[in-house]
Copies of this chain bind each other. A is one copy, B any other.
Amino acid sequence: QPPGLPLAPCRSFSNSKIQVELDESSGVAMMKFKSPPVNSLSLEFLTEFSISLEKLENNRACRGVIITSTIPKIFSSGLDITEMCGKSIEHYTEFWRAVQEMWLRLYGSSMVTVAAINGSSPAGGCLIALSCDYRIMAENPKFSIGLNEAQLGIVAPFWFKDTFVNVVGHRVAERSLQLGSLHPAPEAHKLGLVDELVPEEKLMEKAAAVMAQWLALPDHARQLTKTMMRKAVLDRLVAHREEDIKNFISFVSKESIQKSLRMYMEMLKKRK
């Protein structure tokens, strides 16, 4: 290597929606959501997310992933509503399968996964955070997180619910899901929905420190332990995957739901 050139221990591949940088010396990949305006989970985003996870999973040099956002104030706004509005059955099928695929890969990942939540994280964004091994959130009370589907007249799928119950327990999940609550960071921490709050400027440093702590353990035993803890909930979706797709289609095809999604999109447009 010629003098003067910086060391290049990182391999990065950037697609349109997510930037991935793997530091091979530490074995840690950074996944940065960079899909303006709000990192919504479109079919394209979800596909890219699943492929990126698969690549890292198959790369022996990668042992852990830190997930964060490059968009100010937003981690991810959740499922892209435009994918659910006025599209064909085929499209709904493909879209929902991609949502399932993303969750199966992330919740079932054998890598250590840390969410560095540097902005608000409703609905599907919250699911991504819940599916990681550890959640650190910027301690800004303006940032909120939660499965707020009920607010939109939508029911969170059973595997969103299972993931949520595993993190916060039955009582908190029942109330939060029924109310479609978006919890400001301090409240989310109190409920156990996030594990730790840090000042925003220390978020990445803290995430790296937590990751180092987790990677100090031998991989094999940790991976088997993770599987033991999560298998029942993962298996439940695998067993009911087609049924879950049918449910989604029958739900999203209802004229009343289409109407309320269109109204919601109009409202979002006007906000801009």
Binding site for B on A (CB under 8 A): 133-134, 149-156, 158, 161, 165-171, 173-175, 177-180, 192, 195, 213-214, 217-218, 220-222, 224-226, 228-230
Contact = CB atoms under 8 A, between A and B. Distances in A.
Given A154-B221, A220-B153, A225-B150, A166 B171 contact: yes
A177 B225 contact: yes
Contact of A178 (B152, B171, B225): B225
24 contacts: A133-B174, A149-B221, A150-B222, A150-B225, A151-B217, A153-B221, A154-B221, A155-B224, A155-B228, A158-B228, A166-B174, A167-B170, A169-B169, A170-B229, A171-B192, A173-B229, A174-B226, A174-B230, A178-B214, A178-B226, A178-B229, A179-B217, A179-B222, A180-B221
B218 A178 contact: no
B155 A225 contact: yes
Copies of the chain in the assembly: 3
A229 B134 contact: no
Given A169-B170, A174-B229, A178-B229, 7 more contacts: A134-B175, A150-B222, A153-B220, A155-B221, A155-B228, A178-B214, A180-B221
Contacts of A170: 165-167, 169, 229
